[in-house]
Amino acid sequence: AEKNLEGYLEFAISLAKECGQIILEASKGRYSKINKFYSKGENPTDLVTETDRSVEELIKSRLNSKYPEHKFVGEETAAAGNHYDLSDEPTWIIDPIDGTTNFIHGFPFVAVCIGLTINKEPVIGVVFNPFLDQLFSARKGNGAYLNLNTKLPLSSPNPPVIIPSSLAECLVISEFGNNRSSTTLGKKIRSVHSLLSKPGDVTWGKKNAGLVHGVRSLGSAALDIMQLAKGEADMFWEIGCWEWDVTAALVILRESGGIMVNGNGPNEGPVDILGRKYLAVRGGSSCAGDETVEQSQLRLVRELW
Ligand code: LIP
């Protein structure tokens, strides 16, 4: 099985590189047909381009001919109304372009994401940003790497990346997403308001633990999570993105020592990758006191609620 995983990872890496070249090439024709964008259904901010579609088709056909017995879930295929349940079979969960809006505007945080689950567990992850030439990859049990040989998190183990001793010391990443209904957006903005405000200044929300160091958004959930895997941000929280945005990234995050939990309320139970609610904390060495790394991570999760 170990040998199989090695082969899957190798294949996913070469496929991600091939797709990255296509994405980069397509981005040069910014206003040409290949980059024409459409909104999915009625939502004018949920965008797709010809490149999303053609890259997904390419990944799908490559995977089908190499591993005909494996299952496939892709963002654009799912958007076309194909529903599925995650089974125990090896299942490739892919996003041809995570950060489609960035791609359209030339904002260089765009990634092709290729993840594989076996027995419903994410075991292979490749996230490639061709604009910055950053390839993140991991297979379960074997560590996470940037550009194949730099181990993640970047500064570990020497000097160790200390887990912040409180939420107030964290750099948090979150996204506004595509659902702009005032109820959904209002909740997100109130959460961010609460995180950024002095404790006590904001009375809504579950708990105002606020005044974090800052809140950031890159516009690609996968690349947000890669900032945690590198050790350059502390927490990620998004409600509303999808399994193809996070599955590949999750393997890399975990292999870098990070955790991801259910992102909906104080129940830090295991993340449901189809659940669309994701809360992650980066890895590192333990903070002061005798907490383990995991205890420190879960303490930050609880502080957020
Ligand atoms: C997007 C994400 C973005 C998130 C959106 C959307 P797409 O993916 O990665 O961070 O806020 O909800 O899902 O559509 O560019 O693949």
Binding-site annotation: residue ranges: 75, 95, 97-98, 245
Task: Mention the CATH class of domain 2-149.
Answer: alpha beta
Domain 167-304 has CATH 3.40.190.80: yes
Question: Fold match between 2-149 and 167-304?
Answer: no
95 is catalytic: yes
| pLDDT value for 263 | 85
Does the structure show a pLDDT above 60 at 183? yes
The domain limits of the chain are: 2-149, 167-304
Mean pLDDT of 90-109: 95
Question: Measured from the CB, is residue 219 less than 6 Å from ligand 1?
Answer: yes
Q: Kindly report the pTM of this predicted structure.
A: 0.94
Burial of 22 (0-12, 13-18, 19+ CB in 10 A): middle
Annotated binding site for Mg(2+): 75, 95, 97-98, 245
The CA distances from residue 212 to 167, 202, 238, 243, in Å, are 6, 14, 16, 27
- The one catalytic residue in 56, 75, 238, 255 is 75
Sorting pLDDT into bands at 50, 70 and 90, what band is 110? Answer: very high
CA distance 16 to 218: 20
